[in-house]
Amino acid sequence: MKLGLLGPEGTFSEMAAKKWKPDAGLIFFDDMESAVRCVDEGICDESIVPVENSVEGAVGIVLDVLLEIKSPIIGEVILPVKQCLMSKGGISDIKVIVSHPQALGQCRRYIREHFPNAEVRTTGSTAHAGKLAQEFTEMAAIGCSESANRYGLKVLKEGIQDYQSNYTRFFVFGKKMHAPTGNDKTSLAVYLEKDMPGALYEFLGEFANRSINMTRIESRPSKKMLGEYWFFIDVEGHAEDLVLQEAISALKDKCTTLKVLGSYPKAETL
């Protein structure tokens, strides 16, 4: 079983992959987009990518590429994220701090308060930052402690994220829809072209009227014009459940495009 993810070794995505399938053969990609597309492209059987963080919010690139792929979401993994400051040198040597933008965003206040004069640079992943920091004593990386071990860095400080409760949710993509389990979620992408009063209200009413619990709503620009959006909606239930089937067919009349992104078992609650 080949499982695609963001690399190199030592990313939080790797921790999530091990939680999902400890024995899978991991295929590391340099960027998130390739990791999202790898199942569609026949390179991997499954892939796992971060989709939202409890502090920094959505991973925009994943939402955008989701609209273009055929592989359904077959699972979700929720990972507690503890950010570490790591370097070859000591705290007083640090002149440059590197990490993935999501990780830097999770530690914004810590960096400003403790390293107001440091140069902050982004990398493709937290592990990429760790790999880079191997080369320079004055560079510190932010990422997970596993990547410090992997790249021979010292963990100078653990748990530097601004909010101690920091979780990242990952989507798993696979080749075919997951069968209903009785404890599922369904993710939908909806494009409401008509900019008219109450359009979204009416739309969401189809869930409310059927007592379908919505667990998340997110918007992304349509990229066609300012003020037009795709909505990403997660609800409880499986797309094969009768009540959700009814809601989806009612919704199709109310929007321009509706894509069922997948139904999958809910992750364990934390």
Ligand X SMILES: O=C(O)C(=O)C[C@]1(C(=O)O)C=C[C@@H](O)C=C1
**For residues 265 and 136, what is the distance between their CA atoms, to the nearest angstrom?**
44
Q: Which stretch in 97-105, 152-160, 199-207, 243-251 sits in contact with ligand X by CB under 6 A? A: 97-105
User: Does the footprint of ligand X cover residue 11 (CB under 6 A)?
Assistant: yes
User: For ligand X, which residue of 47, 71, 161, 168 counts as binding (CB under 6 A)?
Assistant: 168
User: Does the footprint of ligand X cover residue 74 (CB under 6 A)?
Assistant: no
Helices 199-208, 242-252: inter-axial angle, 10-degree rounding: 160
* Interactions with ligand X, residue window 195-214 (CB under 6 A): none
User: For ligand X, which residue of 34, 47, 87, 102 counts as binding (CB under 6 A)?
Assistant: 102
In terms of Cα–Cα distance, which of 10, 45, 5 is closest to 26? Answer: 5
User: For ligand X, which residue of 47, 53, 71, 263 counts as binding (CB under 6 A)?
Assistant: 53
CB of 236: closest distance to ligand X in angstroms? 24
CB of 143: closest distance to ligand X in angstroms? 6
Q: Which is nearer to ligand X, 78 or 258 (CB)?
A: 78
* Interactions with ligand X, residue window 33-52 (CB under 6 A): 50
User: For ligand X, which residue of 37, 100, 185, 238 counts as binding (CB under 6 A)?
Assistant: 100
Q: Which stretch in 95-103, 130-138, 190-198, 200-208 sits in contact with ligand X by CB under 6 A? A: 95-103
Strand order from edge to edge, sheet including 119-122 = 119-122, 96-99, 139-143, 84-87, 154-158
Q: Which stretch in 9-17, 85-93, 187-195, 243-251 sits in contact with ligand X by CB under 6 A? A: 9-17
**For residues 200 and 234, what is the distance between their CA atoms, to the nearest angstrom?**
15
240: which 2 tokens? Answer: 């094969």
In terms of Cα–Cα distance, which of 68, 50, 70 is closest to 60? Answer: 50
Strand duo 96-99 + 139-143: pairing = parallel
Q: Which stretch in 33-41, 96-104, 185-193, 251-259 sits in contact with ligand X by CB under 6 A? A: 96-104
Rg for the chain, CA atoms, rounded? 20
User: For ligand X, which residue of 125, 161, 187, 263 counts as binding (CB under 6 A)?
Assistant: 125
**For residues 179 and 181, what is the distance between their CA atoms, to the nearest angstrom?**
6
**For residues 92 and 30, what is the distance between their CA atoms, to the nearest angstrom?**
31
Q: Which stretch in 5-13, 40-48, 132-140, 243-251 sits in contact with ligand X by CB under 6 A? A: 5-13
Instruction: Write b or e for each residue in 3-34: b if 16 or more Cβ atoms lie within 10 A of its Cβ, otherwise e.
Output: bbbbbbebbbbbbbbbebbeebebbbbeebbb
User: Does the footprint of ligand X cover residue 63 (CB under 6 A)?
Assistant: no
Residues contributing to the site for ligand X (CB under 6 A): 6, 11-13, 50, 53, 59, 81, 100, 102-103, 125-127, 143, 168
